[in-house]
Amino acid sequence: MGAFSSDMKKSGKSFLKKERLCNIGSIAELFSSGRTIYLPPLKVVYRLVPAEAGPATVRVLISVPKRNFKKAVIRNLIRRRIREAYRLNKSTLAEYLLTKGKRMDLAIIYNDAVIHPYITTERSVKEMIEKLTHLK
Protein backbone atom coordinates (compact mmCIF):
# COMPACT_ATOMS: atom_id res chain seq x y z
CA MET A 1 0.00 0.00 0.00
CA GLY A 2 2.88 2.37 0.72
CA ALA A 3 4.32 2.01 -2.78
CA PHE A 4 0.91 2.65 -4.32
CA SER A 5 0.34 5.88 -2.41
CA SER A 6 3.80 7.23 -3.27
CA ASP A 7 3.18 6.45 -6.96
CA MET A 8 -0.07 8.40 -6.78
CA LYS A 9 1.70 11.45 -5.33
CA LYS A 10 4.40 11.34 -8.01
CA SER A 11 1.86 11.23 -10.85
CA GLY A 12 -0.17 14.15 -9.44
CA LYS A 13 -3.40 12.17 -9.67
CA SER A 14 -4.36 12.45 -6.01
CA PHE A 15 -7.11 14.50 -4.38
CA LEU A 16 -5.67 15.70 -1.09
CA LYS A 17 -7.38 17.40 1.85
CA LYS A 18 -5.74 20.74 0.99
CA GLU A 19 -7.44 20.60 -2.43
CA ARG A 20 -10.90 20.49 -0.87
CA LEU A 21 -12.89 23.60 -0.12
CA CYS A 22 -13.97 23.20 3.53
CA ASN A 23 -13.77 26.65 5.13
CA ILE A 24 -17.25 28.12 5.69
CA GLY A 25 -16.02 31.65 5.06
CA SER A 26 -14.43 30.69 1.74
CA ILE A 27 -17.59 28.84 0.69
CA ALA A 28 -19.74 31.88 1.55
CA GLU A 29 -17.41 34.16 -0.46
CA LEU A 30 -17.52 31.75 -3.39
CA PHE A 31 -21.31 31.71 -3.58
CA SER A 32 -21.69 35.45 -2.96
CA SER A 33 -19.10 36.72 -5.45
CA GLY A 34 -18.47 33.73 -7.74
CA ARG A 35 -19.41 33.31 -11.38
CA THR A 36 -21.53 30.45 -12.71
CA ILE A 37 -21.23 28.09 -15.67
CA TYR A 38 -23.97 25.60 -16.59
CA LEU A 39 -22.75 22.38 -18.19
CA PRO A 40 -25.54 19.82 -17.90
CA PRO A 41 -25.72 17.89 -15.63
CA LEU A 42 -23.29 20.15 -13.71
CA LYS A 43 -23.53 23.68 -12.41
CA VAL A 44 -20.12 25.19 -11.67
CA VAL A 45 -19.52 28.19 -9.44
CA TYR A 46 -15.95 29.52 -9.55
CA ARG A 47 -13.94 32.38 -8.16
CA LEU A 48 -10.45 33.45 -9.26
CA VAL A 49 -8.18 35.08 -6.69
CA PRO A 50 -4.48 36.04 -6.70
CA ALA A 51 -2.23 33.15 -5.71
CA GLU A 52 -0.79 33.03 -2.20
CA ALA A 53 1.81 30.77 -0.65
CA GLY A 54 -0.41 28.48 1.46
CA PRO A 55 -3.24 26.52 -0.15
CA ALA A 56 -3.42 24.55 -3.38
CA THR A 57 -4.04 26.31 -6.70
CA VAL A 58 -7.55 24.84 -6.97
CA ARG A 59 -9.86 24.07 -4.05
CA VAL A 60 -13.00 22.10 -4.90
CA LEU A 61 -16.40 21.55 -3.29
CA ILE A 62 -18.62 18.81 -4.74
CA SER A 63 -22.33 18.85 -3.95
CA VAL A 64 -25.27 16.63 -4.87
CA PRO A 65 -28.56 18.13 -3.59
CA LYS A 66 -30.79 16.02 -1.39
CA ARG A 67 -33.78 17.56 -3.18
CA ASN A 68 -33.00 15.49 -6.31
CA PHE A 69 -31.77 12.28 -4.66
CA LYS A 70 -33.28 11.32 -1.32
CA LYS A 71 -31.01 8.32 -0.71
CA ALA A 72 -27.49 9.05 0.53
CA VAL A 73 -26.17 6.00 -1.32
CA ILE A 74 -27.12 7.57 -4.65
CA ARG A 75 -25.73 10.99 -3.69
CA ASN A 76 -22.45 9.37 -2.64
CA LEU A 77 -22.25 7.44 -5.93
CA ILE A 78 -22.63 10.62 -7.98
CA ARG A 79 -20.18 12.50 -5.74
CA ARG A 80 -17.58 9.71 -6.16
CA ARG A 81 -17.99 9.81 -9.95
CA ILE A 82 -17.50 13.57 -10.08
CA ARG A 83 -14.50 13.40 -7.73
CA GLU A 84 -12.84 10.66 -9.81
CA ALA A 85 -13.43 12.49 -13.10
CA TYR A 86 -12.01 15.70 -11.61
CA ARG A 87 -9.03 13.90 -10.05
CA LEU A 88 -8.04 12.36 -13.39
CA ASN A 89 -8.39 15.58 -15.41
CA LYS A 90 -7.41 18.39 -13.01
CA SER A 91 -3.77 18.75 -14.10
CA THR A 92 -4.50 21.04 -17.07
CA LEU A 93 -6.45 23.46 -14.87
CA ALA A 94 -3.74 23.48 -12.19
CA GLU A 95 -1.00 24.14 -14.78
CA TYR A 96 -3.03 26.96 -16.34
CA LEU A 97 -3.53 28.65 -12.97
CA LEU A 98 0.16 28.33 -12.09
CA THR A 99 1.15 30.12 -15.30
CA LYS A 100 -1.37 32.90 -14.60
CA GLY A 101 -0.35 33.26 -10.94
CA LYS A 102 -3.93 32.71 -9.79
CA ARG A 103 -5.82 30.45 -7.42
CA MET A 104 -9.38 29.19 -7.89
CA ASP A 105 -12.18 28.13 -5.58
CA LEU A 106 -14.62 25.86 -7.34
CA ALA A 107 -18.02 24.37 -6.47
CA ILE A 108 -19.30 21.56 -8.67
CA ILE A 109 -23.02 20.97 -8.16
CA TYR A 110 -24.84 18.04 -9.77
CA ASN A 111 -27.95 19.70 -11.14
CA ASP A 112 -30.07 16.90 -12.62
CA ALA A 113 -32.66 14.45 -11.30
CA VAL A 114 -31.30 11.52 -13.35
CA ILE A 115 -28.23 9.42 -12.60
CA HIS A 116 -25.97 9.67 -15.64
CA PRO A 117 -23.25 7.10 -16.43
CA TYR A 118 -19.65 7.87 -15.54
CA ILE A 119 -18.78 8.64 -19.18
CA THR A 120 -21.31 11.50 -19.28
CA THR A 121 -20.08 12.86 -15.96
CA GLU A 122 -16.45 12.73 -17.09
CA ARG A 123 -17.31 14.46 -20.37
CA SER A 124 -19.00 17.29 -18.43
CA VAL A 125 -16.03 17.63 -16.07
CA LYS A 126 -13.59 17.76 -19.01
CA GLU A 127 -15.74 20.41 -20.69
CA MET A 128 -15.83 22.37 -17.42
CA ILE A 129 -12.02 22.27 -17.14
CA GLU A 130 -11.71 23.32 -20.79
CA LYS A 131 -13.96 26.35 -20.23
CA LEU A 132 -12.17 27.32 -17.01
CA THR A 133 -8.77 27.24 -18.74
CA HIS A 134 -10.01 29.73 -21.34
CA LEU A 135 -11.07 32.44 -18.92
CA LYS A 136 -9.77 35.98 -19.24
Asked if residue 4 is part of any domain, the answer here is no
The tally of domains found in the chain comes to 1
Parallel, antiparallel, or unpaired: how do β-strands 102-110 and 35-39 relate? unpaired
Dihedral angle sign, alpha carbons of residues 9, 11, 12, 15: negative
Asked if residue 2 is part of any domain, the answer here is no
124-to-11, 17, 47, 70, 108 alpha-carbon distances in Å: 23, 23, 19, 23, 11
- CATH number of the domain encompassing residue 116: 3.30.230.10
Element (H, E) at 85: helix 72-89
Provide the residue range defining the domain that includes 113. Answer: 22-132
Each residue's pLDDT, cut to its tens digit, for the chain (136 residues) gives 454 444 444 456 787 788 899 999 999 999 999 999 999 999 999 999 887 755 568 999 999 999 999 999 999 999 999 999 999 999 999 889 888 888 999 999 999 999 999 999 999 999 999 999 988 6
Asked if residue 1 is part of any domain, the answer here is no
Asked if residue 12 is part of any domain, the answer here is no
Asked if residue 27 is part of any domain, the answer here is yes
Asked if residue 9 is part of any domain, the answer here is no
